[in-house]
């Protein structure tokens, strides 16, 4: 497989993201092309994609990592990890996560955070097997709509 940072949004990438987002969660909105362009040009967030089986293969998965400064250090968080359902269990998510971890390490972050719905059992098993530690915390969301 081949992992690369998405620096521009091609038609192929836009269509792949539109197909992957519903596999992440049915209630997640499909981003517009302009929103993806904004992500590709962001200084704090990076979109990484996986092609399978090699550089010439189709886009099989993606994740976003954001790196940002707070008073207590440089933080990183991984969001929207998803692999095409037909290509799961081939190490694609793990390769994407290793890329994100190394990216965060090179940036000087003190760790990589992510959240996952408990119902995503396979994903949670993967995260724990890679050394992610489950935190005991309360997660809150304040809807703005």
Q: Looking up tokens 């998510």, which residue turns up?
A: 93
pLDDT digits (tens, 9 = 90+) for 34-76: 999 999 999 999 999 999 999 999 999 999 999 999 999 999 9
Return mean pLDDT, the chain.
96
CA distances to 44, 80, 86, 132 from 139, in Å: 22, 17, 31, 17
How many percent of the chain have pLDDT more than 70? Answer: 100
* 73-83 and 58-70 strand pairing: antiparallel
- State yes or no: cis peptide before 133, omega within 30 of 0: no
Which residue, 97, 50, 106, is CA-closest to 77? 97
Whether the model clears a pTM of 0.85, i.e. scores above it, the answer is: yes
* HSE of 109, CA atoms in CB hemisphere, 13 A: 21
pLDDT digits (tens, 9 = 90+) for 109-118: 999 999 999 9
Contact present, 114 and 81 (Cβ < 8 Å): yes
Instruction: Return the pLDDT at 145.
Output: 84
Give the range among 61-65, 66-70, 121-125, 139-143 with minimum mean pLDDT: 139-143
pLDDT over threshold 90, residue 26? no
Residue 121 has what DSSP assignment?
H
Residue 111, both tokens: 């760790």
**Complete domains list, the chain, with CATH:** 2-129 (3.40.630.30)
Beta bridge partners of 141: none
Q: Looking up tokens 């709509």, which residue turns up?
A: 145
């Amino acid at each position: 497989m081949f992992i690369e940072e998405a620096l521009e949004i091609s038609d192929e990438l836009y269509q792949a993201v539109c197909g992957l987002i519903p596999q992440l969660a049915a209630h997640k909105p499909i981003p517009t092309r302009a929103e993806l362009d904004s992500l590709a040009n962001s200084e704090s967030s990076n979109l990484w994609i996986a092609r399978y089986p090699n550089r010439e293969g189709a886009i099989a998965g993606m994740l976003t990592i954001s790196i940002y400064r707070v008073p207590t250090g440089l933080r990183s968080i991984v969001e929207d990890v998803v692999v095409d359902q037909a290509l799961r269990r081939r190490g694609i998510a793990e390769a994407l996560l290793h890329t994100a971890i190394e990216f965060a390490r090179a940036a000087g972050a003190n760790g990589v955070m992510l959240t996952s719905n408990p119902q995503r059992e396979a994903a949670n098993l993967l995260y724990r097997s890679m050394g992610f530690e489950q935190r005991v915390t309360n997660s809150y969301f304040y809807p703005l709509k």
